[in-house]
Amino acid sequence: MEPARDSSEQALPALLLHSTNDTFPSTHTHLLPYQRVKIGRLTDTDAAPVSEPSDPSRAILFNFATVSRKHAEVWDEDGKIFIRDTGSSNGTFVNGERLSPEGEESQPFQLRTGDILVLGYDVVDDNGVVVHGKVAARVVCAFTEQDIHLVGDGPPF
């Protein structure tokens, strides 16, 4: 039997996302080895982006119009965290580089602490006002408790 986890301990490994544009609260998603976690848009029914996974807690959901319901997926493989765009319309970007053309799945891309992950892009009106924002986040790939506090220039999680 596994010992009880102290409430201050976080499940590891994990992907931590810290908003760079203050549009969502910081997230901490436990990554089980080789199990993919969906990233997508929150639907009206508050369910996962699609009927899979059956456990909505295995999804990272954002209430952003520029994020596709089935936008991307992340997973831990051999002590590394990967992301793959699953054919989103508005793109998945890591450090400014789009992972795949619109509507096409990307190859897996290794995320590293300090990367900037962007889902979608800002949609602006004729006056330059953002009407639909993007998800922009600083990435922390947490494998140890010390990693949880590595968020670069931002506040700790």
Banded pLDDT at 45 (limits 50, 70, 90): low
CATH number (domain holding residue 86):
2.60.200.20
Does 156 fall in a domain? no
Tell me, yes or no, whether 39 lies in a domain.
yes
pLDDT confidence of residue 156: 45
Is 113 inside a domain boundary? yes
Tell me if 122 sits within 8 A of 147, measured CB to CB: no
Structural domain containing residue 100: 14-46+55-150
Dist CA 108 CA 77 (whole Å): 11
CA–CA gap between residue 125 and residue 47 (Å, rounded): 30
Radius of gyration of the chain from its Cα atoms, rounded to whole angstroms? 16
C-alpha distances in Å from residue 23, one per residue of 18, 38, 122, 125: 10, 20, 12, 19
Mean pLDDT of 115-142: 95
The pTM of this model reads 0.83
Q: What is the pLDDT of residues 58-103, one digit of tens each?
A: 799 999 999 999 999 999 999 999 999 999 999 999 999 999 999 9
23 within domain boundaries: yes
Instruction: Tell me if 5 is assigned to some domain.
Output: no
SS3 call for 115: coil
59 domain-assigned: yes
Please give the share of the chain, as a percent, with pLDDT higher than 70. 80
CA-CA distance, 55 to 124, in Å (whole number)?
35
